[in-house]
Amino acid sequence: MPGTKLLYTALLAVFVPAILNAATLNGFIKDASDGESLPNTTIALPALKMGTLSNASGYYAITGLPPGRHVVVISHIGYRTQLDTLDLIADQALRWNINLSVESIRLQEETVIIADRLGEEFRQQTGFSVLQAQDMQQMPAVGESDLLRSLQLLPGIQAASDISSGLYVRGGGPDQTRILLDQVPLYNPSHAFGFFSTFNPDAIKDVSLYKGVYPAAYGGNLGALLDVQNREGNRQTLSGRGGLSLISGRLLLEGPIGTGAWMLSGRRTYLDPVLSAVRASGANVPSYYFYDFNGKFSQRLGPSDELVISTYFGQDVLDFDLDAETFFALNWGNRTLTGRWSHLFSPTLFGRFIAAFSTYESDTSLSFFDTPVLFDNSVRDLSFKADFDYYVQADHTIAAGLLLTDYKFTFRQTFNQRQQLDLNQEPWLMAAYVQDDWQATPLMHLRLGSRFSYFTAGQRLSLEPRFSLSYELQPGLRLKTGGGVYHQYLQLVTTEGFSGGDYWLPLDASVKPSRSYQTALGLDWEVSSRYRLSAETYYTDMDQLALLDNNTVADSEETRSTDLFVTDGTGYAAGLELFAERRLGRLRGWLGYTLGWTRRQFPELNRGRTFPPKYDRRHDISLNSSYRQSKWTWNLSLVYATGQAFTPAGARYTLRAPATGLFTDRALPADRNSARLLPYHRLDVGARRAFGLWGSEAEFYLQIFNLYSRRNEWFVQYDTDEPETDPKVVKMLPIVPTFGLDFKF
Amino acid sequence: MTHYLAWIIALFCACAADRQPGELFGPLEDDLVVVDVQLIVDAPLPPVHLSRTLAPGTTYTAAAAALSGAVVAIRQADQIIDYTEDPEDPGRYLPTASVATLPATLYRLEVLLTDGRQVKAQTHTPDRLQITQLLLLDEETLLPRRELKLFAELGEAVYYAPENQIFYQQGLLEARVAEEIDIPAYQLAIFNLEEDSALLIDADFLEEDDLAEFERKGASPPLAVRKGQARLPWFAVAFAGRHKFKIYAVDENWYDFIRTDPDGNGGGFGGLLGDQFQRPTFNIEGGIGLFASASVDSVGFTVLP
């Protein structure tokens, strides 16, 4: 049985420490300024050519170290590299916690501070992007800075319109991107019909985006993964930050408590009094506001245990009372509550246990001349999750985990006091993954993993192998590749223009879950600490796609997925992304270019022919830069993209409406999305000036969205009331100047 | 920095381009044959309207679109009914014999154009539909307040029966059919039979132009008539006076067209931002249009201001 012998040998090689009497070095790495954990920090012993990275909780362990004196180097981009000498004795497990200080880099007369907490993941994982919270806050925006809108400037990510914060990543729709806040899914991360996202910029600690080929620890969506980590709170001192913009005010307070920290942040719009005054003058405007709240509380329960409790809730409330019999009311919001317990079973086995509760509710009620219509949709996600990191050897870290989610979906539609739809589903999702991070050679890092999942609706069992490889061709120059299989059991019901009142529905036994096969290949060159260049190609093949059927007759007692969606779709997305970044200096920023194609094909749509989705863009260029000069910071963002696809009219004809017999002049739609709107381009600029405010730091900002007021095209409507068919182009936002104040104490 | 900014603005302004006339039209699909025929069970076979599509950038007139000189026939089981063109109305073809449309029967349309093109379509007529009750329900309890008279009882006099006089937006009007039949959907339609009765809608938020757009005819999207009950929404009633409320039991072709028609009421979701401007499902071989059938019954009542 040579095969069995080979397997046995391989297992021994992985699981048995290489050196008898070996020592283990382990501990937590934190930011010295506020005590926040630092994931993906490199801990290296150069003389032994051994090292590892800290995990998501900042924990690291290196096993198999020979006894003796060793030089240890702890490095993290943006932090001062720390060198220490340690004496290890045989069989010792040395707990060594490290606090890293942010590095101040002095360039000429300017001090520029960069902290790149997730830089190592960027080096190892293809398709990975990082957005610094401080960069996000400096980007010009409409009203106030917004995470999702900032991400739309990265190569490979599109926006559907000026008023949408939806992410269209690498040729996928917003439903194909999983959005997590502190490991909990957010089902509608938007305020104000998608104009803003639910993420309060003050509360954000780290943002990591896998544009594709995300690792086995995650699952559930065909395309991308956005993982937002909120701040844990300042463990050193009481501090705060906040801001006032034209539309909202926000405040974050944080500080130490016991053996941990706390953080509370809130944001609310203050448009209500303005709208109320406008209404009082007789104009028909709705009443509208949104708010959100983030809270986190952490306690270290001992040297091996930490408990973190976090919550988020946010709500959008719109009321439009037009008349006694005609009104429109829309409320939607997310709520999450998460408990996380981290436990160190041994120096080499780290565990995280999460119990999370996430709900999303959307209620729409309207009355049109005394005819009431109600829609309500809710998603409840109750999840239990366990993740383990096992530091087998210095060059092997095995991660494994389990997930159990109890979903509850409801979707009801009532028209004229009669229930037309009443969908209730309570499926379970069970998933398990295992992944090995293997430093195969000093130059090659491999991540091999697989995810298994079982969804009770339709009894779907999926196996999803994943891999990524990073090979250092020469110092700073890496070749990265990756691939994987992904399944999606939940389907988002939304429009491509704006989000708000979106619905999530599970795919039941009548429809197979959508599936994608992703591959990516890229070259990443860190030219210096100042410059980084990358080029990446991707190809995603999709099948079993489901798309909301716009022509669905939502009037059925037993609605199944096959009634709501067009199914059996196939598609692909392919592209090339080029990215150049200047990370240090007075002038910082990036230039990105994407060349992309994406296509869909459904037997029931477009007479079975292939078509591009609206967000298919051949070219997309974005430039984002900031220039710091004394107390001033100047920002500039520039976007150019191929116009979005739309369905043009190919002919005109007359046909009676069958029930009324009225002859109706009509435009005949040509092939789906077979024409293009004019190219989209926009220049946003902003200026910020720092000043002292009652002993605290503050910044006043002025931002101008769409500086040259380019009226980009949004969609086309055809008017056939006159003998000449009149196409009307609806345009997007003109120039929008805004100003505000941010402060920190 | 200033030069850099100016250069970028100039570059992007240069990229701006204005639309040329006709750019917003797609690949031309003019000269497609358009069929327009709706068979109603128990009614005589209807006329066949034949026209063609015209390029969207040209001036559309019915005369320019009419298709004359075609050979038209409808097959009803083994019987062939030939059609001849109406000399008064080009593109309109009339049956040469008066034949009633049968329920649960397959009909085939055959058209041969002068240029040799052929158009074919078929429809299977639904069973008969019968409304057995018309009730005025209480909006809160949904219990019947009173039962209205049907055409079967009073004929055209229903419009003047005391039971059939209802006040605008008071109660819910519900028609009940004898039994559900095997069809994909129903469609409701409302017809105000007056020519100049008062507009009942009095909403401050509507401008005069909006009020002028209210029509005296309207139809619903495809619906289920669950438990044999069909309710009339008040927003469908805009004018005072006599109303005819029709329930159509529609065939597959009718259903496919109204659920996919971007000019109609649309389906349940979507329809925003041009998403719904997609080609309807026609079920016509060699052309576009509608060859469909339905059975229908109606009730009458008068709305008082």
ipTM score: 0.90
Question: What is the interface size between A and B, counted as CB pairs within 8 Å?
Answer: 262
Question: What mean pLDDT is reported for chain A?
Answer: 86
CB within 8 Å of chain B, chain A residues 438-477: none
E strands along A182-258, which residues? 184-185, 190-191, 196-197, 204-210, 224-230, 239-244, 248-257
- What residues form DSSP beta bridges with A515? A487, A543
The whole-angstrom separation of Cα A267 and Cα A134 is 18
pLDDT given for residue A556 in this prediction: 59
Mean pLDDT of chain B: 86
- Tell me the residue length of chain A: 745
Instruction: Using the predicted structure, report yes or no on whether residue A122 has a pLDDT greater than 60.
Output: yes
Judge whether A144 and A136 are in contact, CB under 8 Å: no
pLDDT for residue A614 is more than 60: yes
Among candidates A623, A637, A542, A628, which has minimal Cα distance to A581?
A623
The whole-number pLDDT of residue B7 equals 60
Chain A CB within 8 Å of residue B11 CB: no
Has residue A267 got a pLDDT over 90? yes
Distance from CA of B283 to the nearest CA of A (A): 11
Instruction: Please give the DSSP secondary-structure letter assigned to residue B282.
Output: -
Between the alpha carbon of residue B114 and those of residues A33, A422, A609, B69, B73, the distances in Å are: 86, 53, 31, 6, 15
Residues 6 or more apart in contact with residue B4 via CB below 8 angstroms: none
Listed as ranges, residues in chain B with pLDDT below 70 are: 1-18, 20-21, 264-275
pLDDT of residue A108 exceeding 90: no
What is the pLDDT, as a whole number, of residue A127? Answer: 79
Interface list for B 220-239 with A (CB within 8 A): 220-224, 226, 229, 231, 233-236
CA neighbor of A510 nearest in space, from A583, A460, A556? A460
A734 touches chain B (CB under 8 A): no
Instruction: Please give the residue that has the higher pLDDT: either A464 or A151.
Output: A464
CA A29 to CA A568: how far, in whole Å? 48
The answer to whether A646 contacts chain B (CB < 8 Å) is yes
Contacts within 8 Å (CB) and 24+ apart, B178-182? B178/B129, B178/B130, B178/B131, B178/B132, B178/B228, B179/B228, B180/B225, B180/B228, B181/B126, B181/B127, B181/B129, B181/B249, B181/B295, B182/B126, B182/B127
Where are the extended beta strands (E) located within chain B? 33-40, 48-52, 71-76, 79-85, 92-95, 106-112, 118-124, 131-137, 144-148, 165-167, 172-177, 185-192, 217-219, 229-232, 241-250, 288-304
Task: Report whether pLDDT(A688) > 80.
Answer: yes
SS3 A201: helix
Look at A658 and B172 and tell me if their CB atoms are within 8 Å. no
Which run of H or E residues covers position A371? strand A371-393
Tokens of B172: 């819910």
Query: Quick one: pLDDT at residue A115?
Result: 41
Residue ranges of domains in chain A? 19-103, 113-227, 228-744
Any idea which fold B33-124 has? Immunoglobulin-like (2.60.40)
Query: Both tokens of residue A557?
Result: 């007692």
A244 has a pLDDT exceeding 50: yes
| A497, closest residue in chain B (CA to CA) | B273
What was the pLDDT predicted at B5?
55
> So what's the pLDDT on residue B14?
52
Does A103 lie at the interface with B, CB-CB under 8 angstroms? no
A587 touches chain B (CB under 8 A): no
Task: Transcribe A4-48 into DSSP letters.
Answer: HHHHHHHHHHHHS-SSTT-EEEEEEEEETTT--B-TT-EEEEGGG
pLDDT in tens, A339-359: 999 999 988 899 999 999 999
pLDDT tens digit string along A568-603?
Answer: 999 999 999 999 999 878 898 999 999 999 999 999
Q: Are B24 and A675 within 8 A, CB to CB?
A: yes
pLDDT in tens, A146-175: 888 888 888 889 887 887 778 899 999 888
Residue pair A224/A197 in contact (Cβ under 8 Å)? The answer is no
Interface of A with B in 144-203 (CB under 8 A): none
Contact B273 A649 (CB under 8 A): no
Q: Which CATH class is domain A228-744?
A: mainly beta
Q: Is A664 on the interface with B (CB under 8 A)?
A: yes
Q: Please state the separation of Cα B122 from the chain's center in Å.
A: 19
Closest CA to A667 of B48, B280, B285: B280
pLDDT at A500 exceeding the cut of 90: no
Higher pLDDT, A25 or A195: A25
A116 has pLDDT over 60: no
Which residue in A556, A653, A714 is closest to B53 by CB distance?
A: A653
* A380 in B contact zone (CB under 8 Å): no
Q: Is A616 a residue whose pLDDT tops 60?
A: yes
- How remote is the C-alpha of A380 from its chain's centroid? 20
Where do the domains of chain B lie?
Answer: 33-124, 131-282+294-304
Inter-chain touch A553–B248, beta carbons under 8 Å: no
Q: Please, are residues B266 and A551 in contact by the beta-carbon 8 Å criterion? A: yes
Residue A543: its H or E element = strand A531-548
Q: CA quadruple A318, A322, A324, A327: dihedral positive or negative?
A: negative
Give the pLDDT confidence score for residue B268 in this predicted structure: 38
| Nearest-angstrom CA–CA distance, A381 and A408 | 7
A417–B139 CB contact, under 8 Å: yes
Check pLDDT > 50 for residue A111: no
Identify the burial level of B97 via C-beta atoms within 10 angstroms of its C-beta, where 0-12 means exposed, 13-18 middle and 19 or more buried: exposed
**Residue A566 in this model has a pLDDT that exceeds 60:** yes
The architecture that CATH gives domain A113-227 is Beta Complex (2.170)
Mean pLDDT, to the nearest integer, of A680-704? 91
At A492 the three-state DSSP class reads: strand
Which pLDDT value is given to residue A501? Answer: 62
Q: Which fold does the domain A19-103 belong to in CATH? A: Immunoglobulin-like (2.60.40)
For residues A649 and A42, the model is more confident at A649
Which pLDDT does position A93 carry in this prediction?
Answer: 84
